[in-house]
């Protein structure tokens, strides 16, 4: 039986700020081979959810550079996983964080933002580390950023993915300390 637990936004942001300008050695660095942005945000989401979805092809997990889900490192694949519909739930199962697209007025720390170019293609994934009255502050990899304002990016559009909940087989928050301290994966 699956349980629904809250997403720990503070843990996600603490992880983001800890590793924004360096790399956690538990994970491969994809900077030279397509970008490390979604890999980094997936790590932050893991810190806030303490669960992975090991469903082949449609899940969201990282075991090694050779054994990971496309959603762990791919911008569009992560979007599809987080916003999965009933049809995709049938393929990927219910385990893991869930999100819905929201406007700036509903953005919260720990949420995901993806940037698009002039053709409408989404190319970059970041995590919201702070919400101010006038801007969103973001942490990211590829072009490493720690609390960088969204207003300083040269993008055409964006989508905000508000993490609503996490579905788990069993609740556990014991992954955070080993993860943020680069001791072990959950």
Span 92-147, pLDDT tens digits: 668 999 999 999 999 999 999 999 999 999 999 999 999 999 999 999 999 999 99
3-state secondary structure of 4: strand
- Looking at residue 89, what is its pLDDT? 60
- Looking at residue 84, what is its pLDDT? 83
3-state secondary structure of 101: strand
- Looking at residue 169, what is its pLDDT? 84
Range from 2-16, 82-96, 153-167 carrying the lowest mean pLDDT? 82-96
Q: Are 29 and 38 in contact (CB under 8 A)?
A: no
Residue owning tokens 């992975």? 52
Q: What ranges do the domains of the chain cover?
A: 3-21+33-180
> Would the pTM count as exceeding 0.85?
yes
Mean pLDDT over 74-82 rounds to 96
Integer Cα distance of 157 and 116 in angstroms: 5
């Amino acid at each position: 039986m699956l349980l629904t637990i809250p997403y720990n936004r503070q843990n996600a942001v603490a992880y983001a700020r800890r590793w924004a300008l360096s790399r956690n050695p538990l994970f491969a660095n994809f900077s030279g081979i397509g970008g490390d942005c979604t890999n980094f945000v997936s790590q932050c989401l893991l810190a806030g959810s303490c669960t992975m979805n090991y469903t082949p092809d449609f899940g969201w997990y990282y075991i090694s550079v050779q054994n990971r889900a496309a959603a762990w490192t791919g911008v569009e694949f992560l979007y599809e996983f987080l916003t999965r519909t009933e049809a995709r739930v049938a393929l990927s199962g219910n385990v893991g964080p869930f999100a819905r697209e929201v406007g700036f007025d509903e953005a919260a720390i720990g949420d995901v933002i993806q940037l698009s170019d002039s053709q409408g293609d989404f190319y970059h994934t970041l995590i919201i580390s702070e919400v101010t009255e006038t801007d969103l502050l973001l942490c990211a990899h590829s072009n490493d950023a720690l609390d960088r304002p969204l207003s300083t990016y040269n993008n055409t559009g964006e989508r905000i993915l508000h993490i609503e909940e996490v579905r788990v087989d069993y609740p556990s928050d014991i992954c955070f300390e080993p993860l943020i301290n680069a001791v072990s994966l959950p």
